[in-house]
Structure 1
Amino acid sequence: MPESVMPLALGMRHERLALGLSGFFAAASIRAADTLLPALSRDFGISAGKTGVAVTSFMLAYAAFQLIYGPLAERYGKLRVIAAALLACAVANFSQSLAPGFAWLVVLRAMAGAAAAGVIPICLARLGDTEPLASRQSLLARYSVATICGLMTGQWVSGLVADALGWRAAFVLLAAGFACVAAILANLARRGETAGHWQRVDPGPRPGPATLLKSAWVRRVLCMTLLLGLLCPSVFAFVPTYLKLHFALSLAAAGAITSMHGVGGLLYAGFAPALIRRMGRQRLARLAAALLGVGMACIALGQHWLWIAAGCLCAGCGYYIVLNAMQTAATQMAPSQRANAVALFAFCLFAGQGLGVLLAARLVDTAGIPALFAISGVLVILLILEVSRQLLHRLDATPP
């Protein structure tokens, strides 16, 4: 009996609440280091651009380990894998607080990325198992509230804690949160994925993520996902640094302004069901392109921090519209191998982010952050229009 049709032992609501908490802390760990980059630059005596390696190491490890977690989740059960990953996140984040130098911090950030890779994508796969396609995009939009709040909290609270207690305390706080949620998921995994489930799973060889790449449709989705990660979320890693250096704001203030990117995502999540129903996926994608263009322009040209806040708000709303649509496409790429499909999606998204931060760091040190946002803004608009034309048209034609 496949996992997708198994009853949820503690009820759908309890499980989804636990998955939301897992996504919250995993998302917080993804962006916590962004606001800490100026503090790392000061404490370790390196340039603002070079501190971006701490972000890149996390993203690339996060991406690479998707290829491991997907097959593990298909084999041993999604809830078990999420619980184990959360525990590893607690250990990795506490270790970062003890880093004796920047090189060690980069290595430990990579370990944290490897651990966090097993949380959000597998949560999305589990949600995809328990929700039909017709209502899945709305469900994933609601789930994104947890991850967006995590991103916002990670960016803002890490700066707040760093100003008060130092950047190491921010990682200790994350470790404590992960440990608590790991205990909750471990209990759910024991009760929701019983030994009986193990007996029902075919013990023979199971197809891996590579088998999905035989499909031209899957390759197209993944290629556009890689480009989205390369062009959009990676550049926002440098917004706190820009606010700190150009507008002389505190780390807490810079983190709060950058978190407006998440507020934009929350606005979309709140209105997602109505927007999807009234506009459809393709028109909504074109709205996303317009919002991202306006947001990037505000950041590139703004001469006051209020313009940066407005730009983060608009760009965040646009980004989460297109990300939500592509997540839905990922959960439908291969329903029989949903964990592998979503793992490949996450691999491409975060590999793009990791590579994007490396390229953006070079541009930041040579041309400046405004130029970075101007170039990214033009390219991401072209990408989203192509996503609307190629991917979302097919998704709309798929039976629910």
Structure 2
Amino acid sequence: MLLTLVPTLHAAMALRILGGLAAAATIPTVFALIADRIPPAKQAGAMGSVMLGMTAGIAAGPAVAGLLTEAWGWRTPFLLIAGSCLVAFGAGWCVIPHDRPSACTIKESSIKKAGAGIFRLLLAKGAWNGSAVAGYVFAGEVLRMRYGLEVGAVGVAVSVFGLGLGVGNMLAGHCSRRYQREENILVLATVVMACSMTLFLTAATGLPVALGCLLVWGAALGIAAPASTAILAQRAGANKGKVLAASESVNNVAVLMLLPVAASASATSLITPAAALLGGICLAGAIGSATVRRR
């Protein structure tokens, strides 16, 4: 709300930083709440539903904001977001139980035993998630250079990745219920992700095959992310809030480290070496996830 009143760009940037801090605090708390209140067998599906909402917001937000800005000015999107946050606060206050959770507890000895496995899972997630997001950054440039697409067509083609991501989020719960072991789902999804990403970025296939790779790449990421979050929450026990916050931090650091690789590849047309590097890092993350045994 204050963003609509500030007189300078610097003040607006400071408020955006505060908004980012609030979002960074909210996301791991939401996942920790799911782990506290929902049985383990249903956690991946619940987290997938949350991530589906995030995916929809990321995909539709810029378009909706643009339409609102054209119609009623740039303040309108911010006022709509502020109003939505207040509605969400009211709904959460009424719906979320205020008592301390008594279910889904884990013995302290199990938590200590799982500590090393949690650390390896965090590093593995940073590897496959960071490489997948960084690779997506120059997917549009690959489509433009390889198939001669115009800017508008590139935007439509790249949106296939978002479609796959949403499909993966919706399938996360089904996969968890069907196979009843998130560890296997995670390893399979990350391997599929690494293969489809590498194929898309390095192989000169036809456009339909490339779009299919984008779709599978997004779907695999959409399945792997909630599965990984559910595993971390279950293994962390009472420390799930700290572990999930650390997970988000590791993801962000990995993306920041790998984004320059994607940016330099787009600028210098050295796409194949960069793609091979990102695919290898993603596969290394899949292998890292596979080496962590289930408790």
TM superposition score normalised by structure 1: 0.57
Instruction: Check conservation: 2:45, 2:170, Cα contact below 8 A.
Output: no
Instruction: Check conservation: 1:292, 1:318, Cα contact below 8 A.
Output: no
Q: What is the 5 A alignment of 1:1-400?
A: 113-154=20-61, 157=63, 161=66, 174-191=77-94, 215-243=115-143, 247-250=148-151, 252-279=152-179, 280-284=181-185, 285-302=187-204, 305-387=207-289, 389-391=290-292, 393-394=293-294, 398=295
Residue identity in the other structure for 2:167: L
Residue identity in the other structure for 2:169: A
Residue 143 (structure 1) shift = 2.7
Change (3 A) 1:174 1:105: same
Residue 348 (structure 1) shift = 0.9
Aligned mates of 2:5, 2:212 — CA distance in 1: 36
Instruction: Check conservation: 2:169, 2:226, Cα contact below 8 A.
Output: no
Instruction: Check conservation: 1:300, 1:369, Cα contact below 8 A.
Output: yes
Aligned mates of 1:190, 1:382 — CA distance in 2: 42
Instruction: Check conservation: 1:240, 1:254, Cα contact below 8 A.
Output: yes
Aligned mates of 1:307, 1:326 — CA distance in 2: 28
Change (3 A) 1:178 1:224: same
Instruction: Check conservation: 1:299, 1:312, Cα contact below 8 A.
Output: no
Residue identity in the other structure for 1:218: I
Identity of counterpart residues, as a percentage? 16
Residue 327 (structure 1) shift = 0.7
Change (3 A) 1:134 1:326: same
Instruction: Check conservation: 2:42, 2:177, Cα contact below 8 A.
Output: no
Give CA-to-partner distance per residue, 1:198-249, whole Å, 9 cap, x none: xx8xxxxxxxxxxx9x932332222222222331112212334554676342
Residue identity in the other structure for 1:186: F
Residue 321 (structure 1) shift = 2.3
Aligned mates of 2:288, 2:95 — CA distance in 1: 41
1:46 corresponds in structure 2 to none
Change (3 A) 1:374 1:134: same
Aligned mates of 1:123, 1:311 — CA distance in 2: 31
2:105 corresponds in structure 1 to none
Instruction: Check conservation: 2:49, 2:169, Cα contact below 8 A.
Output: yes
What number of residue pairs does the alignment pair up? 279
Secondary structure of the structure 1 residue equivalent to 2:235: coil
Instruction: Check conservation: 1:297, 1:311, Cα contact below 8 A.
Output: yes
Change (3 A) 1:363 1:245: closer
Give CA-to-partner distance per residue, 1:88-138, whole Å, 9 cap, x none: xx656x699x859xxx99888755533431332222122222112122122
Change (3 A) 1:95 1:329: farther
TM superposition score normalised by structure 2: 0.75
Instruction: Check conservation: 1:229, 1:351, Cα contact below 8 A.
Output: no
Provide the aligned C-alpha RMSD in A: 3.9
